[in-house]
């Protein structure tokens, strides 16, 4: 099983993201499970979401405490994300420009990848009421970083689930997300990560 935990802010579109990720996982024949931890939904409040992929039926129903991949959709949530549990080989993907990430996360021992999804969203005018929709570029970046779902499947899911208005630009955002993943604490550009085998916790 591969488990991903997401930390995002209300309004960034994480719930849409995990839904599309689950649909993508199903398309490549995986059993999937995706859920947010719903609280009082407030724009700007931290939201946790979870996604599981497995070849066998998924019986686990609890949240993910030691994920294979940790996705931080706002740099302000890095400390929170790190404090909620990791394994030694968890790969972290943060939505932050490379230089900022390099300056800030010198003491993180995990493989740390960056994608500047906010800039991608702003460049493409992917906004909802002033808030950049970072979920789509992050979707592309996850495809690259985790290698669970290929980019073709990502764009296919976007084509099927997004409204006509934003479809083309969203597919472009996902492509840019895919090609913009950089390794923070290693030598850029990032290597692709094969999904890890069976998780023990």
Partner 1 sequence: MKIIDTANHAVAYAAKLARVEVVSAYPITPQTQIIEEISRLIDEGIMDCEYIPVESEHSAQAALIGASATGVRVFSATSSHGLAYMHELLHWAAAVRLPIVMVNVNRAMGPGWNIWCDHQDAIAARDTGWIQLYCASHQECVDTLIQAFRIAEDHRVIMPVMVNYDAFVLSHTYMKVEFPEQETVDLFLPELDPMWKLDLDNPMTHGSVIYPDDYEEVRFSMQQAHGNARKVISEAAAEYRVIVGNYHGDLTEEFMTEDAEHIIVAMGSIASEAKMAVKQLREEGLACGVVRIRSYRPFPVEELQRVMRGKRTLVVIDRDCSFGLEGALFSDVKAASYGHSDARAYNLITGLGGRDITYGLLAGAVRAAVEGKAETVRWPALRLNEHHLASKRGVEAAWQGRQKRSAS
Partner 2 sequence: MSAKDKRKNVKAEAEIGFVTTISFPSVGSAGQTGSWRIFKPVKNEERCNECLLCWIYCPEACITKKLSINYDYCKGCGICAVECPRNAIQMVKEEKQ
Would you tell me which residues interact with partner 2 (CB under 8 A)? 9, 42-46, 65, 74, 76, 84-85, 100, 104, 118, 129-132
137 closest CA partner among 124, 148, 121: 121
Measured from the Cβ of residue 163, the count of other Cβ atoms closer than 10 Å reads 7
**Residue 58 binds: one of partner 1, partner 2, none (C-beta under 5 to 8 A by kind):** partner 1
In the complex, the smallest distance separating the C-beta of residue 63 from partner 2, rounded to whole angstroms, is: 10
Under 8 Å between Cβ of 17 and 6: yes
Minimal distance, residue 105 CB to partner 1, in Å:
28
Token pair for 21: 């990720």
**Residue 107 or 129 having the CB closest to partner 2:** 129
Instruction: Provide the angle, in degrees to the nearest 10, between the axes of the packed helices 151-161 and 164-179.
Output: 160
Q: Is 201 in the site for partner 1 (CB under 8 A)?
A: yes
Q: Which does 59 bind (CB under 5 to 8 A by kind): partner 1, partner 2, none?
A: partner 1
Residues 6+ positions from 149 with CB-CB distance below 8 Å? 21, 24, 25, 27, 28, 142, 143
In the chain the first and final C-alpha atoms are separated, in Å, by 11
Which option in partner 1, partner 2, none does residue 130 bind, with CB closer than 5 to 8 A by kind? partner 2
Residue 63 contacts partner 1 per CB under 8 A: yes
Tell me how long the chain is.
Answer: 201
Least CB distance to partner 2 at residue 18 (A):
20
The residue within the footprint of partner 1, chosen from 28, 45, 65, 160 (CB under 8 A), is 65
- Closest CA relative to residue 141, chosen from 104, 89, 193: 193
Q: Inter-axis angle of helices 164-179 and 135-146, to 10 degrees?
A: 40
Q: Which does 129 bind (CB under 5 to 8 A by kind): partner 2, partner 1, none?
A: partner 2
Options 11, 13, 36, 132; binder of partner 1; rule CB under 8 A: 36
In degrees, rounded to 5, the angle at the alpha carbon of residue 114 between the alpha carbons of residues 110 and 118 is 145
Smallest distance, partner 2 to C-beta of residue 194, A: 28
**Residue 62 interacting with partner 1 (CB under 8 A):** yes
- Enumerate binding residues for partner 1 (CB under 8 A): 18-19, 22-23, 26, 31-38, 58-63, 65, 201
């Amino acid at each position: 099983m591969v488990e991903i935990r997401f930390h995002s802010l209300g309004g960034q579109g994480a719930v849409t993201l995990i839904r599309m990720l689950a649909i993508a996982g199903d398309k490549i024949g995986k059993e999937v499970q995706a859920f947010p931890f719903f609280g009082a939904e407030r724009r700007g409040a931290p939201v946790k979401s979870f996604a599981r992929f497995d070849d066998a039926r998924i019986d686990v129903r609890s949240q993910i405490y030691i994920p294979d991949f940790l996705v931080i959709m706002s740099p302000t949530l890095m400390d929170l994300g790190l404090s909620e549990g990791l394994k030694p080989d968890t790969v972290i993907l943060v939505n932050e420009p490379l230089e900022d990430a390099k300056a800030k996360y010198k003491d993180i021992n995990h493989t740390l990848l960056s994608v500047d999804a906010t800039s991608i969203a702003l460049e493409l005018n992917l906004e909802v009421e002033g808030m950049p929709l970072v979920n789509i570029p992050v979707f592309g970046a996850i495809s690259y970083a985790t290698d669970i779902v290929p980019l073709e499947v990502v764009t296919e899911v976007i084509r099927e689930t997004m409204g006509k208005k934003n479809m083309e630009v969203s597919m472009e955002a996902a492509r840019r997300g895919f090609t913009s993943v950089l390794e923070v604490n290693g030598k850029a550009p990032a290597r692709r990560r094969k999904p890890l085998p069976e998780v023990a916790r």
